[in-house]
Amino acid sequence: MAAEDKCPETIYDVKTPSFLVDIDVIKRNVTRMKETCDRLGVQLRPHMKTHKTVELGEMMTNGTKKCVVVSTLDEAEFYATHGFDDILYAYPITQQKLDRCRRLAEKLEKFHMMVESPESMEALKTTPRGDNKNWSVYLEIDLGLGRTGVEWDSDLALTLAAEAANCPSIDFLGLYVHSGDSYLARGPDSIRQSGRKNTDKLLQLKVRLAEAGVTCPSLCMGSTPGCSHPDDSMAQLDCFSPGNYVFHDTMQMRIGTCEESDIACRVICRVISHKKSQNKMSIDAGFLAISHDGMELGLAEGPVIFQGHPELKLLGMCQELGSVGTQGTPLDFSKYPIGSLLFIYPHHSCATAALYKNYYIHSGEKIVGVWRPTRGW
Ligand SMILES: Cc1ncc(COP(=O)(O)O)c(C=O)c1O
């Protein structure tokens, strides 16, 4: 928002498209996750990637500004500059990023990194911090998702853990997992099943490490579905690192992580054109306001939800325009006059939030704040 812009009073006064965040839903989501972690006796190390704001970082850490995860160095620097500490940069490290990591490590009381390859381990071993302190390092484990991380049942997992534990310039913190396979689950029972399976694999690896003489101080696992509906066995973990739970989205809803009423963010947009001959209309939100995320799934109902209008379907998007129709029924254009407002629950809130310079924070209809996320890498 430009300095000269007047802060809108209500959600109906914001320019369209804009990104709205319901502070009351956020508070519920934050409290629920904290209670879940307290109940299981695990530490919450929330991920900041979904929102990338100071304000929500403070809320998610219960005001401590400590013990967070980030996915870019820009985020790490942003949070460090705003007084946060105990930051885990949970992204495979490479030699080229170590200078920035060193500066963060010097500035913060605790800055942790993640390795998952012989190359990154070598980079850390041959590039000591230079201030007589150690790099603080998790080993990233792949439990079957196949994204990054060293395979949980591989010999390489043992080798890298042993190298980290035995290297005099490294403090080995333990194992870190993004349990992204929970996104394939459907419903709380199936989510819990994946949590049980993942916990079991991680504990098996911890035992194998112990047998090889490597002490694994901490097991950290995170995903919003998995941590929202944890299996009781996950109490054996030390730390949860979910992020998306603050906003949620229609993807989480379809997985069965949350209800529509738990989704804290919406894109507000306007109907700008009717194409009656084709039973569709246009809105002033295209892929730069909603993101393309989810379109590739070809869902019958489309990737997003138009709040209060289940008959509407997002048909397609170009840069600044969205095309909206129905799933076959005639579109009642009288319900959607040109200039009228629509509220969209995004498919993937991380991707949609990333498109905005400002988030308009509201309680009920009243705008109560404007938050500015960090951007970049
Ligand atoms: C490394 C890592 N940890 C934790 C998370 C948080 O997971 P979620 O977005 O399901 O909350 C992510 C998300 O992509 C991640 O990449």
For the CA of 114, the closest atom of ligand 1 is: 1
How many A from CA of 124 to the centre of ligand 1? 24
Answer yes or no: are the C-beta atoms of 67 and 262 closer than 8 Å.
no
The predicted-structure confidence for 334-372, as pLDDT tens digits, reads as follows: 999 999 999 999 999 999 999 999 999 999 999 999 999
| Residue, of 3 and 233, whose pLDDT is higher | 233
Give the model's pLDDT for residue 5: 62
223 lines ligand 1 (CB under 6 A): yes
Give the model's pLDDT for residue 172: 98
How many A from CA of 49 to the centre of ligand 1? 8
CA–CA separation, 319 vs 292, rounded Å?
10
Give the model's pLDDT for residue 132: 87
Give the model's pLDDT for residue 1: 54
Superfamily covering domain 260-371: D-serine dehydratase-like domain (2.40.37.20)
CB burial of residue 165 (10 Å; 0-12, 13-18, 19+): buried
Three-state secondary structure of the chain: CCCCCCCCCEHHHCCCCEEEEEHHHHHHHHHHHHHHHHHHCCEECCECCCCCCHHHHHHHCCCCCEEEEECCHHHHHHHHHCCCEEEEEEEECCHHHHHHHHHHHHHCCCEEEEECCHHHHHHHHHCCCCCCCCEEEEEEEECCCCCCCEECCCHHHHHHHHHHHHCCCEEEEEEEEECHHHHHCCCHHHHHHHHHHHHHHHHHHHHHHHHCCCCCCEEEEECHHHHHCCCHHHHHCCEECCCHHHCCCHHHHHHCCCCHHHCCEEEEEEEEEEEHHHCEEEECCCCCCCCCCCHHHCCCCCCCEECCCCCEEEEEECCCCEEEEECCCCCCHHHCCCCCEEEEECCCHHHHHCCCCCEEEEECCEEEEEECCCCCC
Domain boundaries, the chain: 23-248, 260-371
On the question of pLDDT at 3 being above 80, the answer is no
- Residue minimizing CA distance to atom 12 of ligand 1: 178
How many A from CA of 242 to the centre of ligand 1? 6
The predicted-structure confidence for 41-98, as pLDDT tens digits, reads as follows: 999 999 999 999 999 999 999 999 999 999 999 999 999 999 999 999 999 999 999 9
- Residue minimizing CA distance to atom 7 of ligand 1: 223
Which residue do the tokens 């043992």 mark? 158
CA dihedral (5, 10, 15, 21) positive or negative? positive
- Residue minimizing CA distance to atom 2 of ligand 1: 178
pLDDT band at 288 (very low <50, low <70, confident <90, very high): very high
Residue to probe by mutation, ligand 1, list 71, 139, 143, 183, most atoms within 8 Å of CB: 71
- Portion of the chain with pLDDT greater than 70, in percent: 99
CATH fold of 23-248 reads: TIM Barrel (3.20.20)
The predicted-structure confidence for 252-274, as pLDDT tens digits, reads as follows: 999 999 999 999 999 999 999 99
On the question of pLDDT at 4 being above 80, the answer is no
Give the model's pLDDT for residue 2: 54
243 lines ligand 1 (CB under 6 A): yes
Give the model's pLDDT for residue 130: 83
CA–CA separation, 112 vs 172, rounded Å?
10
Q: What is the pTM of this model?
A: 0.96
Residue to probe by mutation, ligand 1, list 45, 70, 178, most atoms within 8 Å of CB: 178
